[in-house]
Amino acid sequence: MKEVVLEVKNLTKDFDGELAVDGISFGIEKGEILGLLGPNGAGKTTTIMMLLGVTKPTSGEIKIFGLNLATHRQEIANRINFSSPYISLPDRLTPFENLYVFAALYGISNPRDKIRRLLNDFDLADMENELTLELSSGQLTRLNLCKALLNDPELLFLDEPTASLDPEIALKIRDLLFKIRRETHISMLYTSHNMEEVSRMCDRVIFLNKGKIVASDTPLNLTRMIEDYFLTITFDAPLEKVKNFGLKKKLDFDIPQPNILEIKIKEKDVGPILTQLARDGIDICNVAIKNPDLEDVFLKISSTKK
């Protein structure tokens, strides 16, 4: 059995009668990346803030590295870190100076080489001595990630780490995070609105809605919750004929363009429907099948729990 680095039991946060987090329990194993998903206001940020020790839980218990956060915050804070695009760093200091300050706060001795290596890894070496206010939002996100990795954390909270990054840099950051995980067995709690990214990054995903955990599993198992596949068929046949086919078979369909048929269908029915279309003399020029993904799970959970 793997070592558990984070253990949350019945965690609740009530802001003056408004329940932001409602008795959630979960854990993260060493080296695991856990995705925390949910619509706005689901309680993701409040949960992360309680795990960082900057928001006091109303009730419940948080254990990190086997230590109670309420009584061992100092010890734990040295071994964790976080990054969020919604925070910043003093903009009249240079990136190097900002990281130097945090190196002192995390008690890192002789931090110069480490800071330079991180700035280099995140393509910020050229900006080392510019003022932070000169950085673009993408560069600022990367600087925050440098800050988050400064103390070689064993547990990292990443709140939308690739927001505001262009796709090429986002991919590089993901690769870098994977590399760090391979080398150090770091554990991560990861939030993102990019479901494809969560699918790729996370070993396991928790869905929060209205402060409660409504689903928890691997990305693959979660997508299995969705039985519907989306078929997009480009056809060459009279429109009425295609419409009548859909009505006759009682399909959940749409014809967004005169030669495009979209059908929401169960996986097992994909083959028979395509065969029947051909039998009815509807020429099929192209077929695209979209498998359910985490975004569909997200939309389903968000809509059913409202």
Partner 1 sequence: MKFSRIKGILLQNLFFLRHSFEDIIDTFFWPTMDVIIWGFMTVYFASLRGPVAGVVSFLLGGLILWNIVWRAQQDISFALLRNVWDRNILSLFASPLLPSEFIIATIILGFLKIILTLSFVSLVAYFLYYFNIFSLGFYLLPFFAALIAFAWAAGIFITGLIIRFGMRIQSFSWSLIIILQPLSAVFYPVSVLPAILQKVAFILPTAHIFEGMRQVLQTGKISPEHLIWATVFDIIYLIISSVFFAFMFEKAKEKGKLAKAEM
In the complex, the residues that contact partner 1 under the rule CB under 8 A are 13, 15, 45-46, 49, 52-56, 74, 77-78, 81-82, 84, 86-94, 97, 100-107, 131, 147
Question: To the nearest whole angstrom, how small is the minimum distance from the Cβ of residue 134 to partner 1?
Answer: 12
User: Which C-beta is closer to partner 1: that of 163 or that of 255?
Assistant: 163
Question: To the nearest whole angstrom, how small is the minimum distance from the Cβ of residue 265 to partner 1?
Answer: 44
User: Which C-beta is closer to partner 1: that of 154 or that of 296?
Assistant: 154
Confirm if 83 and 145 have CB atoms less than 8 A apart. yes
User: Which C-beta is closer to partner 1: that of 100 or that of 230?
Assistant: 100
Question: To the nearest whole angstrom, how small is the minimum distance from the Cβ of residue 110 to partner 1?
Answer: 12
Question: To the nearest whole angstrom, how small is the minimum distance from the Cβ of residue 24 to partner 1?
Answer: 16
User: Which C-beta is closer to partner 1: that of 105 or that of 239?
Assistant: 105
User: Which C-beta is closer to partner 1: that of 89 or that of 242?
Assistant: 89
Question: To the nearest whole angstrom, how small is the minimum distance from the Cβ of residue 212 to partner 1?
Answer: 18
